[in-house]
Amino acid sequence: METQPQANTPPPPSESELLQVRRDKLQKMKDKGVAPFGGKFETTHEPGTLRASFENTLPVKLGGRVLSRRIQGKAGFFDIGDFTGKIQCYMNKKEVGDEAFELFTDLVDMGDWVGVEGETFTTKMGEPTVNVKAITVLSKSLRPLPDKWHGLTDREQKYRQRYLDLISNENSRQVFVTRSQMIAEIRRFLQDRQFLEVETPMMQDVAGGAAARPFETFHNALNMPLYLRIAPELFLKRLLVGGFTRIFELNRNFRNEGISRRHNPEFTMLEAYWAFADFEQMADLVEGLICHLAEKFCGGLLIEHKNEAGEVTRTINLQRPWKRVAYRDLIRAVDPGWFELTPEARKTRAAELGVEIGPNFEDYEVTQHVFEKLVEEKQFDPMFVTHCPKELVPLAKQNAADDSVVDVYELVINGQEISPGYSELNDPIIQRQRLEEQAGEEIQKIDEDFITALEFGMPPAGGIGIGIDRLIMMLTGAESIRDVVLFPQLKRKAE
C-alpha cells in the first residue's frame, strides 16, 4: 500500500463550525459593547414559580436559560427556565426597538442565560407569557444544547455531564428537586420530634459499624492511615453515652465494593438513635416517616413506577399497618422443613431452590442467601422482617426468649433493603464477644474506644438506618441509584 502524499493529509483539527459560530457571536457582542458574561441582576421571580402562580399585567424581572426560540419576523417567542421550571417570553421589535430585538435574534442563542424585564400577559393560545421590554445577556453559551425535544438520552453522558441532563430532561430535574425536598422534610420530621442533628467523623481510625471494605487514605501530618467511614453508628452511640438521647445524622457513607444498579461507592445514610426506645418503636417511627413523605410528595400511599412509555410497571402499596414477620417464618414459608435439615443438607436444598451457594459459606449465610433471593427480591410492598439471626447483626440486642436471634427489623420495600432498625446492644461485655466473633482473625478491626464508651454506660436505645438513595428510588420510581445521585461514580474515560 502506498503512503499518502503529505499534501493530502487533512488540516489540523479545528473547532467545529457550531462552536465557531458561537465564538463569533461572542465577539460581536463585545464589539457592540454588550457584556457577554453579565453580573448582578436583581430579580422579582423565578421562571417556574412565576408560571405556577401567574397573574396578568404583573411587572416582573427574572433570569433564566433560553431553552427554545420561535422567531417570526418582527416578533418572537422564547422560553427561559431554571430548576423551578420555565416560562414563555415574548419580544416585539416595535416595542423594544431595533437594537434590542436584533441582539436577541442575531446574537442570543438557545442555551444563553438572559435576564428579562417586562410585564406579564396571556397569549391567545392561553400561554402565560412575559412581554419583554428589556433583555440583558447574563452568560453567553459557547456550546449547543442537547436536542430540545428528545433531551439527552445517552446514559453515560447524562451521568458524566449531569448539567446537560438537568437542563434538557424535565423528569431528571424533577427527581433531584424532589430528592432535595424529601431530605429537608426528613430533617424537619425528626427535628419536630426533638431529635438533634449531629456530625461525626467521616475519616476514622477504625472503620466500624458495618461489614464492608473501607476506602483507605493517609494523613500526612499525623503520619497515620485513615479510613472513610462505612457507617457513623459507633460514633453516634458514643453520643448516647454522652447523654445525647435523641440524635440523628444524615450524610454520606463510603464502601469500597462493587458498583451496581443498587450500589454507589458513596451513598447517603440516615441513622437515628432514640434512648429508651426499642426496635418496635423505631419501626413505627420509620413507617410514619415514609408514609409522611409519600403523602407529601407522591400524592398518596400508592406509589406507581412507570416505564419510559409511561405505562405503570409496578404499584407499591404503603398503606398501614405494614407487615411484620419473623425472619425464620419467612424462610419456613419457602421451605417448612428448612431448620430441621443439617447444615450440609441446607446447602443441597438451597441449590434445589435455585439459589447459588458459595463453597465456603457459613450455615447462616446459606439461609441468608435463600432469604435474599426468594423473599427479599420478591417483596415489593413494605414488610418488616424481624428477629434475624444474631450473626447477621452484631450490634443489636439478643432476644430475651431466644438468644440466637436479635431484636431487630429489616425493612424491605421494592425488592431491596431500605432500612434496618435495632434494639441497640448496650452490654459492653457481650458487645465485645459479638464483635470478636464477627472479626475472627481481623481482631484489630475492633474499635476499642467504642467498647470503653459502652463501659461508661449507654442507655438502652432504638436505632435505625435508612438508605436515602434507595428510599428516593422507591418513592420516585427510579430503576437505578445513578438516577437519584447527581454525580454517580464512573470510570475515568481516557481522552
Binding residue for RNA, selected from 35, 71, 184, 312, defined by CB under 7 A: 71
Question: Can residue 11 be called a binding residue for RNA (CB under 7 A)?
Answer: no
Cα–Cα distance measured from residue 473 to residue 39, given in angstroms and rounded to the nearest whole number = 38
CB of 40 or CB of 378, closer to RNA:
378
Binding residue for RNA, selected from 50, 137, 145, 464, defined by CB under 7 A: 145
Binding residue for RNA, selected from 42, 57, 149, 223, defined by CB under 7 A: 149
Contact 225, 249 (CB under 8 A): no
Binding residue for RNA, selected from 72, 194, 220, 223, defined by CB under 7 A: 72
Question: Can residue 74 be called a binding residue for RNA (CB under 7 A)?
Answer: yes
Question: Can residue 343 be called a binding residue for RNA (CB under 7 A)?
Answer: no
Contact 236, 200 (CB under 8 A): yes
Shortest Cβ distance from residue 346 to RNA (Å)? 16
Question: Can residue 307 be called a binding residue for RNA (CB under 7 A)?
Answer: no
Shortest Cβ distance from residue 459 to RNA (Å)? 31
Question: Can residue 364 be called a binding residue for RNA (CB under 7 A)?
Answer: no
Cβ-based neighbour number of residue 79 at 10 Å: 22
Binding residue for RNA, selected from 109, 233, 376, 424, defined by CB under 7 A: 109
CB of 152 or CB of 425, closer to RNA:
152
Question: Can residue 112 be called a binding residue for RNA (CB under 7 A)?
Answer: no
Measured in whole angstroms, the distance separating CA 186 from the mean position of its chain's CA atoms is: 14
Shortest Cβ distance from residue 292 to RNA (Å)? 29
Q: Which stretch binds RNA (CB under 7 A): 50-58, 125-133, 393-401, 426-434?
A: 125-133
Binding residue for RNA, selected from 104, 113, 159, 176, defined by CB under 7 A: 159
Binding residue for RNA, selected from 32, 219, 252, 261, defined by CB under 7 A: 261
Identify the CA nearest to 34 among candidates 144, 87, 112: 112
Burial 463-485 (b: 16+ CB within 10 A, else e): bbbbbbbbbbbbbbbbeebbbbb
Shortest Cβ distance from residue 128 to RNA (Å)? 8
Binding residue for RNA, selected from 38, 54, 61, 93, defined by CB under 7 A: 93
Cα–Cα distance measured from residue 470 to residue 268, given in angstroms and rounded to the nearest whole number = 9
Cα–Cα distance measured from residue 269 to residue 369, given in angstroms and rounded to the nearest whole number = 24
Shortest Cβ distance from residue 396 to RNA (Å)? 17
CB of 148 or CB of 188, closer to RNA:
148
Cβ-based neighbour number of residue 45 at 10 Å: 20
What does the angle CA 133 – CA 139 – CA 143 come to, to the nearest 5 degrees? 120
Question: Can residue 16 be called a binding residue for RNA (CB under 7 A)?
Answer: yes
Question: Can residue 356 be called a binding residue for RNA (CB under 7 A)?
Answer: yes
Question: Can residue 401 be called a binding residue for RNA (CB under 7 A)?
Answer: no
Shortest Cβ distance from residue 99 to RNA (Å)? 15
CB of 70 or CB of 320, closer to RNA:
70
Binding residue for RNA, selected from 62, 138, 142, 152, defined by CB under 7 A: 152
Contact 208, 447 (CB under 8 A): yes
Cβ-based neighbour number of residue 182 at 10 Å: 20
Contact 136, 114 (CB under 8 A): yes
Q: According to CB under 7 A, which residues from 179 to 218 bind RNA?
A: 211-213
Question: Can residue 126 be called a binding residue for RNA (CB under 7 A)?
Answer: yes
Question: Can residue 273 be called a binding residue for RNA (CB under 7 A)?
Answer: no
Residues 334-337: contacts with CB under 8 Å, at least 24 apart: 334/370, 334/374, 334/375, 335/370
Cβ-based neighbour number of residue 394 at 10 Å: 19
Q: Strand pairing of 266-275 and 461-467?
A: antiparallel
Question: Can residue 311 be called a binding residue for RNA (CB under 7 A)?
Answer: no
Question: Can residue 23 be called a binding residue for RNA (CB under 7 A)?
Answer: no
CB of 74 or CB of 296, closer to RNA:
74
Q: Which stretch binds RNA (CB under 7 A): 11-19, 32-40, 172-180, 185-193?
A: 11-19
Burial 300-321 (b: 16+ CB within 10 A, else e): eeebebeeeeeeeeeebebeee
Cα dihedral 96, 97, 99, 105, rounded to 10, equals 60
DSSP reduced 3-state for 178: helix
Binding residue for RNA, selected from 28, 69, 187, 324, defined by CB under 7 A: 69
Contact 388, 371 (CB under 8 A): no
DSSP reduced 3-state for 252: strand
Binding residue for RNA, selected from 53, 150, 163, 194, defined by CB under 7 A: 150
DSSP reduced 3-state for 423: strand
Binding residue for RNA, selected from 45, 82, 90, 272, defined by CB under 7 A: 90
Which residues contact RNA (rule: CB under 7 A)?
Answer: 1, 13, 16-18, 21, 25, 68-75, 77, 79, 88, 90, 92-94, 109-110, 121, 123-127, 129, 131, 143-157, 159, 211-213, 255, 257-258, 260-261, 263, 356, 358, 360, 365, 479-480, 482, 488, 490-494
